[in-house]
Amino acid sequence: MKAFEKFQRFLILILTSVGFFYGGYYFGKSGYIFELRKNPPKIEVRNQYPVNSEVDFALFWEVWDLVSSEYLERPVDPQKMIYGAISGMVSSLGDPYTSYLPPTVNEAVSDALNGSYQGIGAELGIREGQLIIVSPIDGSPAKAVGLRAGDKILEIEDRSTLGMTISEAVSLIRGNAGTKITLTMQTDNQDSRKVEITRGVITIASVTWEDKGDGTAYIRINRFGGETNNEWSKVVTDITINMNQLDAVIVDVRGNPGGYLQSSIFIAEEFFNNKPVVYQESATGEQKAYDAKRPGGFQDVPGVFVLVDGGSASASEILAAALKDNIGATLIGEKTFGKGTIQDAQDFEDGSGVHITVAKWLTPKKVWVHDIGIEPDIAVERSDEDYNNNVDPQLDKALELAKGL
């Protein structure tokens, strides 16, 4: 019996040594150092990149055990607690664009970028700590009930949005088509109002176009998603085939909350070549230029106009700034949203994901527009009355200038 016990201890020692060796090798290569201390036992995890810090997980596990054993409505869901812990960790950074997305929310966000999901059809954001509508999507239930870019969401089903993250709000607002949700909204400094919205299936093309006559093509970009490049290329081909004369192109990114960086670069390349579309600046201040490299079909068009408003964000602002700085395109409308950061998206095996702010983006003139936005060259407001009567003075101004070329 003693011989067997000795063998057990020997085997545990060997396995522990092997585990520490390979674990140490992996985390050492990743920039982490583990330390095991005695009296009292404590594991310290220090991340060498970019800074050293000591983390004591004892409190985490103490609270975990306390909640698991003492919470009134037991048993608790450990997976839900893990997701909540990770969400809290990420949200503690204080960056509304860095967020952890549980599987259902991550799926919904991915579906939205690919053009089909169930919900109200509105992009959400946070400005000065307040949850807002960045933009309602054309043809969506949100648009149908009159939600506008910049509207504040004060409550979701009587639950205050104060301190709520975007991912939390998305998980509450998304739902099956045909179901209803009530939001408490506020436009500017007006009185709050409750709005009941019936969720729907949101399926939209990211790029559409119209021949406005007199050699003017109008192109609407709703988002920069997974199919945007292909849809854009098809629209360019259609315009080339169907329009005998092309004197002006109006690009409409109003209410477009952005999407993939590469799509904004791809579309900008249609208008110019061998010039920077955007600069990416890392945490260390290193800047990388993304230049237009492919030969585009609109590089000889005399007039280019871009329609923008407070719902034009991220990739929309990248495109607008690139066209303005490189070919002198005229921006018409209202000041853009002002989102000047780039997120890296990582998906995990359980279906969850994380979006982490990894860099700034700068205009071709190396201006950071974050929280500032881009001022239009020609300011034209679109009032509530204009929306209600389907009048579009911003587009009318672009058409007027296009015809004057």
SS (H, E, C) 135-202: EECCCCHHHHCCCCCCCEEEEECCEECCCCCHHHHHHHHCCCCCCEEEEEEECCCCCCEEEEEECEEE
Q: Looking at 91, 118, 167, 343, which residue is catalytic?
A: 343
Long-range contacts of 173-182 (CB under 8 A, 24+ apart): 173/119, 173/120, 173/122, 173/124, 174/104, 174/105, 174/108, 174/117, 174/118, 174/119, 174/199, 175/118, 175/119, 175/199, 176/118, 177/118, 177/201, 181/120, 181/156, 181/157, 182/157, 182/158
Q: Looking at 87, 135, 143, 339, which residue is catalytic?
A: 339
Q: Looking at 314, 316, 352, 394, which residue is catalytic?
A: 314
Burial (CB count <10 Å: 0-12, 13-18, 19+), residue 403: middle
Give, as one character, the DSSP assignment of residue 108.
Answer: H
Exposure string of 228-253, with b = 16+ CB inside 10 Å and e = fewer, is bbebbeebbeebeeeeeebebbbbbb
Q: Is 339 a catalytic residue?
A: yes
Q: Is 365 a catalytic residue?
A: no
Separation between Cα atoms, residue 319 and residue 236, nearest integer Å? 16
Q: Is 130 a catalytic residue?
A: no
- Catalytic positions are 314, 339, 343
